[in-house]
Amino acid sequence: MSGWLSRWRRQRTLERRPIPEPLWQLTLARYPFLAARSDADLQALRDMTTLFLSKKEFAGAGGLEVSDEMAVAIAAQACLPALKLGLQWFDGFVGIVVHEDAVVASRQREDEDGIVHAWDEELSGEAMSGGPVMLAWRDVEDAGESAADGYNVVVHEFAHVIDMRGGVTAALESVDPQSERGEWVNALADEYEAFADAVEAGEETFLDPYGAEALEEFFAVASEAFFVAPAELEAEQPGVYALLRTFFRQDPAGART
Ligand SMILES: [Zn+2]
Protein backbone atom coordinates (compact mmCIF):
# COMPACT_ATOMS: atom_id res chain seq x y z
CA MET A 1 0.00 0.00 0.00
CA SER A 2 1.39 3.39 -0.90
CA GLY A 3 2.14 5.89 1.79
CA TRP A 4 -0.57 8.40 1.03
CA LEU A 5 -3.28 5.74 0.93
CA SER A 6 -2.41 4.31 4.32
CA ARG A 7 -2.18 7.83 5.73
CA TRP A 8 -5.60 8.60 4.26
CA ARG A 9 -7.11 5.45 5.80
CA ARG A 10 -5.56 6.27 9.14
CA GLN A 11 -6.93 9.82 9.01
CA ARG A 12 -10.38 8.59 7.99
CA THR A 13 -10.51 6.12 10.89
CA LEU A 14 -9.48 8.84 13.34
CA GLU A 15 -12.19 11.16 12.00
CA ARG A 16 -14.99 8.62 11.68
CA ARG A 17 -14.50 6.61 14.84
CA PRO A 18 -13.19 9.00 17.47
CA ILE A 19 -13.28 7.92 21.11
CA PRO A 20 -15.87 10.18 22.76
CA GLU A 21 -14.24 12.78 25.00
CA PRO A 22 -16.08 11.72 28.22
CA LEU A 23 -15.07 8.08 27.69
CA TRP A 24 -11.43 9.04 27.09
CA GLN A 25 -11.39 11.24 30.20
CA LEU A 26 -12.98 8.45 32.24
CA THR A 27 -10.26 6.05 31.06
CA LEU A 28 -7.50 8.49 32.06
CA ALA A 29 -9.13 9.00 35.47
CA ARG A 30 -9.39 5.27 36.13
CA TYR A 31 -5.83 4.52 35.07
CA PRO A 32 -3.68 7.38 36.39
CA PHE A 33 -0.47 5.91 34.93
CA LEU A 34 -1.96 6.72 31.50
CA ALA A 35 -2.78 10.29 32.51
CA ALA A 36 0.77 10.89 33.82
CA ARG A 37 2.05 11.59 30.32
CA SER A 38 2.79 14.71 28.31
CA ASP A 39 -0.04 16.19 26.24
CA ALA A 40 1.72 15.09 23.05
CA ASP A 41 2.01 11.49 24.29
CA LEU A 42 -1.64 11.48 25.35
CA GLN A 43 -2.77 12.67 21.91
CA ALA A 44 -0.63 10.00 20.26
CA LEU A 45 -1.99 7.37 22.65
CA ARG A 46 -5.56 8.41 21.93
CA ASP A 47 -5.01 8.19 18.16
CA MET A 48 -3.28 4.82 18.48
CA THR A 49 -6.07 3.52 20.72
CA THR A 50 -8.65 4.56 18.09
CA LEU A 51 -6.74 2.73 15.34
CA PHE A 52 -6.25 -0.31 17.60
CA LEU A 53 -10.01 -0.47 18.21
CA SER A 54 -10.69 -0.35 14.46
CA LYS A 55 -8.29 -3.22 13.77
CA LYS A 56 -8.89 -5.64 16.63
CA GLU A 57 -11.92 -7.75 17.49
CA PHE A 58 -13.11 -8.09 21.06
CA ALA A 59 -15.09 -11.09 22.23
CA GLY A 60 -16.53 -11.74 25.67
CA ALA A 61 -16.25 -15.30 26.99
CA GLY A 62 -19.08 -17.03 28.84
CA GLY A 63 -21.67 -14.45 27.89
CA LEU A 64 -19.62 -11.46 29.06
CA GLU A 65 -20.51 -8.36 27.09
CA VAL A 66 -17.50 -6.20 26.25
CA SER A 67 -18.67 -2.60 26.61
CA ASP A 68 -17.04 0.40 24.92
CA GLU A 69 -15.65 1.33 28.31
CA MET A 70 -13.93 -2.05 28.64
CA ALA A 71 -12.63 -2.04 25.08
CA VAL A 72 -11.14 1.45 25.43
CA ALA A 73 -9.58 0.54 28.80
CA ILE A 74 -7.90 -2.51 27.27
CA ALA A 75 -6.89 -0.80 24.02
CA ALA A 76 -5.34 2.22 25.74
CA GLN A 77 -3.26 0.06 28.09
CA ALA A 78 -2.26 -2.25 25.25
CA CYS A 79 -1.07 0.69 23.15
CA LEU A 80 1.10 2.14 25.91
CA PRO A 81 4.11 -0.15 25.25
CA ALA A 82 3.71 0.33 21.48
CA LEU A 83 3.43 4.11 21.68
CA LYS A 84 6.84 4.85 20.12
CA LEU A 85 7.37 1.51 18.39
CA GLY A 86 4.20 1.61 16.30
CA LEU A 87 0.99 -0.37 16.02
CA GLN A 88 2.51 -2.74 13.45
CA TRP A 89 4.03 -4.65 16.37
CA PHE A 90 0.50 -5.95 17.01
CA ASP A 91 -0.17 -7.02 13.41
CA GLY A 92 0.24 -10.72 14.21
CA PHE A 93 -3.17 -11.18 15.83
CA VAL A 94 -6.72 -9.82 15.67
CA GLY A 95 -8.75 -11.26 18.53
CA ILE A 96 -8.93 -10.25 22.18
CA VAL A 97 -10.97 -12.58 24.38
CA VAL A 98 -12.16 -11.09 27.64
CA HIS A 99 -13.16 -13.31 30.55
CA GLU A 100 -15.00 -12.07 33.60
CA ASP A 101 -12.40 -13.54 35.95
CA ALA A 102 -9.18 -15.55 35.95
CA VAL A 103 -9.26 -18.76 33.92
CA VAL A 104 -8.07 -22.08 35.31
CA ALA A 105 -5.98 -23.94 32.75
CA SER A 106 -4.94 -27.57 33.09
CA ARG A 107 -1.22 -27.95 32.49
CA GLN A 108 0.76 -31.09 31.87
CA ARG A 109 4.46 -31.74 31.53
CA GLU A 110 6.47 -34.91 31.15
CA ASP A 111 9.78 -34.96 33.01
CA GLU A 112 12.98 -36.69 31.90
CA ASP A 113 11.92 -39.93 33.65
CA GLY A 114 8.71 -40.03 31.62
CA ILE A 115 6.54 -39.10 34.59
CA VAL A 116 3.69 -36.81 33.66
CA HIS A 117 3.04 -33.93 36.04
CA ALA A 118 -0.35 -32.27 35.89
CA TRP A 119 -1.43 -29.11 37.65
CA ASP A 120 -3.92 -26.28 37.41
CA GLU A 121 -2.74 -22.78 36.65
CA GLU A 122 -4.78 -19.65 37.23
CA LEU A 123 -4.39 -17.24 34.35
CA SER A 124 -5.33 -13.58 34.39
CA GLY A 125 -4.07 -13.26 30.84
CA GLU A 126 -2.40 -15.18 28.08
CA ALA A 127 -0.79 -14.25 24.78
CA MET A 128 -0.15 -16.84 22.09
CA SER A 129 1.84 -16.41 18.93
CA GLY A 130 -0.63 -15.54 16.15
CA GLY A 131 -3.55 -16.33 18.41
CA PRO A 132 -5.91 -14.22 20.44
CA VAL A 133 -4.86 -12.41 23.57
CA MET A 134 -6.85 -13.52 26.61
CA LEU A 135 -7.51 -11.15 29.50
CA ALA A 136 -9.45 -11.40 32.76
CA TRP A 137 -11.55 -8.27 33.09
CA ARG A 138 -11.31 -8.28 36.89
CA ASP A 139 -7.54 -7.77 36.69
CA VAL A 140 -7.85 -5.15 33.96
CA GLU A 141 -10.41 -3.27 36.01
CA ASP A 142 -8.13 -3.29 39.08
CA ALA A 143 -5.19 -1.90 37.12
CA GLY A 144 -5.56 1.59 38.61
CA GLU A 145 -5.01 0.27 42.15
CA SER A 146 -2.57 -2.54 41.37
CA ALA A 147 -0.25 -0.07 39.60
CA ALA A 148 1.34 0.70 42.98
CA ASP A 149 2.67 -2.86 43.02
CA GLY A 150 3.92 -2.56 39.46
CA TYR A 151 1.23 -4.98 38.29
CA ASN A 152 -0.62 -4.67 34.97
CA VAL A 153 -2.03 -7.65 33.11
CA VAL A 154 -2.61 -5.81 29.81
CA VAL A 155 0.94 -4.47 29.60
CA HIS A 156 2.25 -7.93 30.56
CA GLU A 157 0.43 -9.72 27.74
CA PHE A 158 1.17 -7.07 25.12
CA ALA A 159 4.83 -7.06 26.11
CA HIS A 160 4.70 -10.78 25.27
CA VAL A 161 3.07 -9.95 21.93
CA ILE A 162 5.88 -7.49 21.16
CA ASP A 163 8.51 -10.00 22.26
CA MET A 164 6.93 -12.87 20.31
CA ARG A 165 6.92 -10.85 17.11
CA GLY A 166 10.58 -11.69 16.79
CA GLY A 167 11.57 -13.30 20.05
CA VAL A 168 14.32 -11.42 21.79
CA THR A 169 15.63 -10.60 18.32
CA ALA A 170 12.77 -8.12 18.01
CA ALA A 171 14.62 -6.11 20.58
CA LEU A 172 17.74 -6.21 18.47
CA GLU A 173 15.95 -5.03 15.34
CA SER A 174 14.68 -2.12 17.34
CA VAL A 175 17.82 -1.29 19.27
CA ASP A 176 20.77 -2.57 17.29
CA PRO A 177 20.02 -3.67 13.71
CA GLN A 178 23.69 -4.55 13.07
CA SER A 179 23.98 -7.08 15.82
CA GLU A 180 23.13 -10.79 15.85
CA ARG A 181 22.90 -11.00 19.59
CA GLY A 182 23.65 -7.57 20.84
CA GLU A 183 24.64 -6.04 24.07
CA TRP A 184 21.04 -5.18 24.87
CA VAL A 185 19.86 -8.77 25.12
CA ASN A 186 22.98 -9.81 27.02
CA ALA A 187 22.44 -6.99 29.48
CA LEU A 188 18.79 -7.99 29.96
CA ALA A 189 19.83 -11.62 30.46
CA ASP A 190 22.35 -10.50 33.12
CA GLU A 191 19.62 -8.55 34.92
CA TYR A 192 17.33 -11.57 34.68
CA GLU A 193 19.93 -13.91 36.18
CA ALA A 194 20.62 -11.53 39.07
CA PHE A 195 16.87 -11.24 39.67
CA ALA A 196 16.32 -15.01 39.55
CA ASP A 197 19.18 -15.45 42.07
CA ALA A 198 17.61 -12.87 44.41
CA VAL A 199 14.23 -14.61 44.20
CA GLU A 200 15.83 -17.98 44.81
CA ALA A 201 17.62 -16.57 47.86
CA GLY A 202 14.24 -15.49 49.22
CA GLU A 203 14.95 -11.77 48.92
CA GLU A 204 12.10 -9.28 48.76
CA THR A 205 11.89 -7.90 45.23
CA PHE A 206 9.88 -4.98 43.89
CA LEU A 207 9.23 -6.91 40.68
CA ASP A 208 6.85 -9.85 40.82
CA PRO A 209 8.91 -13.01 41.59
CA TYR A 210 7.04 -14.64 38.72
CA GLY A 211 9.59 -12.85 36.52
CA ALA A 212 12.17 -15.41 37.69
CA GLU A 213 10.37 -18.14 35.68
CA ALA A 214 12.01 -17.31 32.36
CA LEU A 215 13.68 -14.45 30.50
CA GLU A 216 10.44 -13.78 28.56
CA GLU A 217 8.49 -13.52 31.82
CA PHE A 218 11.13 -11.21 33.27
CA PHE A 219 10.75 -8.94 30.24
CA ALA A 220 6.94 -8.94 30.60
CA VAL A 221 6.97 -8.41 34.38
CA ALA A 222 9.57 -5.64 34.17
CA SER A 223 7.55 -3.98 31.38
CA GLU A 224 4.51 -3.88 33.65
CA ALA A 225 6.42 -1.98 36.32
CA PHE A 226 8.12 0.23 33.73
CA PHE A 227 4.76 1.56 32.53
CA VAL A 228 2.68 1.67 35.71
CA ALA A 229 5.26 2.28 38.48
CA PRO A 230 8.22 3.76 36.59
CA ALA A 231 9.71 5.79 39.45
CA GLU A 232 9.73 2.73 41.73
CA LEU A 233 11.30 0.56 39.05
CA GLU A 234 13.94 3.19 38.31
CA ALA A 235 14.79 3.39 42.03
CA GLU A 236 14.82 -0.40 42.61
CA GLN A 237 16.27 -1.64 39.34
CA PRO A 238 17.96 1.26 37.51
CA GLY A 239 19.69 -1.09 35.07
CA VAL A 240 16.42 -2.73 34.05
CA TYR A 241 14.73 0.66 33.77
CA ALA A 242 17.46 1.95 31.45
CA LEU A 243 17.23 -1.13 29.21
CA LEU A 244 13.45 -0.80 28.86
CA ARG A 245 13.75 2.94 28.23
CA THR A 246 16.01 2.12 25.30
CA PHE A 247 13.77 -0.65 24.03
CA PHE A 248 10.41 1.12 24.28
CA ARG A 249 11.90 4.55 23.44
CA GLN A 250 9.98 6.03 26.34
CA ASP A 251 10.94 7.52 29.69
CA PRO A 252 7.76 7.26 31.78
CA ALA A 253 9.53 8.15 35.06
CA GLY A 254 10.31 11.57 33.59
CA ALA A 255 7.27 11.69 31.32
CA ARG A 256 5.91 15.05 32.42
CA THR A 257 9.18 16.89 32.35
ZN1 LIG B 1 3.74 -13.96 31.02
pLDDT in tens, 35-91: 999 999 999 999 999 999 999 999 999 999 999 999 999 999 999 999 999 999 998
Predicted TM-score (pTM) of this structure: 0.89
139 Rama class: left (phi>0) / alpha (psi -120 to 50) / beta: alpha
- Render pLDDT for 11-41 as a digit per residue (tens, 0 to 9): 888 888 889 999 999 999 999 999 999 999 9
Ligand 1 mean position, distance from CA 3 (Å): 35
- What's the CA gap between 257 and 251, in Å, rounded? 10
Ligand 1 mean position, distance from CA 1 (Å): 34
Ligand 1 mean position, distance from CA 24 (Å): 28
Ligand 1 mean position, distance from CA 157 (Å): 6
